[in-house]
């Protein structure tokens, strides 16, 4: 679900690695193959927001909400969004449904 530019950059970076990692790096526990924790993801969001010029606080959940909203605006149905977000109940997903504006 990456855009073409993001996909090409990702695969270009991957192809350029001499040794392909089997796990994500964990900077908090150097030298281990432990998976990253939520703080690493939170920090990555903060670091990515700066060069993007975003002034509001950006959190991983912000990206999740934006992802769902963009899918809905692009015509995806709620059931598909439910599956992608891992919601057990469709009611959890309906918060992304846009209210119709009065005409």
- Tell me the pLDDT tens digit for each residue of 11-31: 888 888 887 766 666 655 666
Does the structure show a pLDDT above 50 at 101?
A: no
Question: Which of these, 100, 101, 74, 69, lies nearest to 85 by C-alpha position?
Answer: 69
Q: Which of 52-56, 60-64, 92-96 has the lowest mean pLDDT?
A: 92-96
- Total residue count of the chain as it appears in this document: 103
Computed over every residue of the chain, the mean pLDDT equals 80
Helix (H, G, I), strand (E, B) or coil at 74: coil
pLDDT at residue 29, as a whole number: 60
Instruction: Label residue 100 by pLDDT band (50, 70, 90).
Output: very low
Q: What percent of the chain has a predicted confidence (pLDDT) above 70?
A: 80
pLDDT at residue 13, as a whole number: 82
Instruction: Label residue 83 by pLDDT band (50, 70, 90).
Output: very high
């Amino acid at each position: 679900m990456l855009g073409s530019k993001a996909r090409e950059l990702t695969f270009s970076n991957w192809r350029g690695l001499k040794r392909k990692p089997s796990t994500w790096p964990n900077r908090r526990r150097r030298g281990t193959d432990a998976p990253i924790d939520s703080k690493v993801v939170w920090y990555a969001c903060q670091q990515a927001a700066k060069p993007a010029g975003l002034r509001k606080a950006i959190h991983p959940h912000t990206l999740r909400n934006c992802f769902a909203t963009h899918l809905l605006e692009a015509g995806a149905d709620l059931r598909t969004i439910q599956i992608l977000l891992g919601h057990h109940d469709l009611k959890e997903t309906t918060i992304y449904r846009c209210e119709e504006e009065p005409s």
